[in-house]
Amino acid sequence: MLPPEESIREVVKDCMNAWNKHDAKALASLYAKDGEFTSWMGQGTTGQGAIEKYHESCTIWT
């Protein structure tokens, strides 16, 4: 098991990699099954499937 600080760094690295690859599935997998996501604009969704779908339609990637 990684020390807490290293665990956080791994999650941030995985998030950045998923974002840079425009990989909505990988990004959503970083959330709990019932995780919640809120964008910087205040739009939100709940659950890995909904988070993945939100990011699949993310216009910032296009």
The ranges assigned to domains in the chain are 4-61
Residue 55 pLDDT: 92
Architecture of domain 4-61: Roll (3.10)
Q: Are strands 36-38 and 44-46 parallel, antiparallel or unpaired?
A: antiparallel
The three-state secondary structure class of 45 is strand
Lowest-pLDDT range of 4-8, 10-14, 47-51, 58-62: 58-62
CA distance 22 to 3: 29
CA distance 62 to 7: 31
Q: What percent of the chain has pLDDT over 90?
A: 82
Strand partners, 46: 36
What's the alpha-carbon Rg for the chain, to the nearest Å? 12
